[in-house]
């Protein structure tokens, strides 16, 4: 029987989004394969996490492309970006937390590309005079990731309605980054 590696990763991501501490046995079961088959494709949890990280990078880059962050007013581009990340926000939250395990290691080029594009959006908003200039684009980028993760966890735990997620992230972030006149 042939195993669709991409499907295994999607199932692992879906489970880990709901239960970050899921074991390899639980991940295999969710993917509909044996633990041995899972280990043939991913030598261990670290290998699986690296593959999931790559999937997350691909999904976030697709969200950036969909949001057309380089186009138009920075406020509107940020709103589009938050809306585009909504479908993968739980996975982003998982990766945001899991990424702390790899801190201090070599920076992944994919994350660096994403960070560069998001920071450029904030920088553009600062140059347009819409966003505060007393906070660095790098910090605003991290704040965005943190808010998306927090919103995803809040939706998952039932503290925030899924339909309100975009509004809550946008309004809190923009309310905090807008330059007061």
Show me where the domains of the chain are located: 1-42, 53-177
Cα(55)–Cα(77) distance, rounded to whole angstroms? 23
| DSSP 3-state of 4 | coil
pLDDT of the residue at 76? 95
pLDDT of the residue at 179? 59
Q: Do the Cβ atoms of 114 and 60 come closer than 8 Å? A: yes
pTM of the full structure? 0.83
Cα(86)–Cα(81) distance, rounded to whole angstroms? 9
pLDDT of the residue at 108? 77
Cα(66)–Cα(4) distance, rounded to whole angstroms? 26
The topology (CATH level 3) of 53-177 is Tetracycline Repressor; domain 2 (1.10.357)
pLDDT tens digits in sequence order for the chain, 181 residues long: 577 888 888 888 888 877 878 899 999 999 999 999 999 989 988 899 889 888 888 999 999 999 999 999 999 999 999 999 998 888 788 777 776 555 555 667 888 999 999 999 999 999 999 898 999 999 999 999 999 988 888 888 889 898 999 899 988 888 876 556 6
1-42 and 53-177: identical CATH topology: no
User: Selecting from 1.10.10, 2.20.28, 1.10.1740, 3.40.640, what CATH number does the domain 1-42 have?
Assistant: 1.10.10
């Amino acid at each position: 029987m042939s195993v669709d590696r991409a499907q295994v990763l999607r199932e692992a991501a879906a489970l880990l989004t709901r239960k970050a501490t899921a074991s390899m046995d639980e991940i295999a079961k969710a993917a509909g394969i044996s633990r041995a088959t899972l280990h043939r494709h991913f030598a261990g949890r670290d290998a699986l996490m690296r593959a999931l990280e790559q999937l997350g990078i691909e999904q976030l880059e697709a969200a950036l492309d969909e949001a057309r962050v380089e186009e138009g007013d920075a406020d509107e581009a940020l709103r589009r970006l938050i809306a585009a990340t909504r479908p993968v926000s739980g996975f982003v939250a998982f990766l945001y937390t899991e990424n702390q395990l790899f801190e201090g290691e070599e920076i992944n080029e994919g994350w660096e590309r994403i960070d560069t594009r998001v920071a450029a959006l904030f920088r553009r908003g600062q140059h347009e005079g819409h966003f505060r200039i007393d906070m660095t684009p790098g910090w605003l980028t991290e704040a965005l990731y943190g808010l998306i993760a927090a919103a995803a966890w809040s939706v998952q735990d039932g503290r925030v309605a899924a339909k309100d997620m975009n509004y809550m992230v946008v309004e809190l972030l923009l309310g905090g980054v807008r330059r007061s006149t």
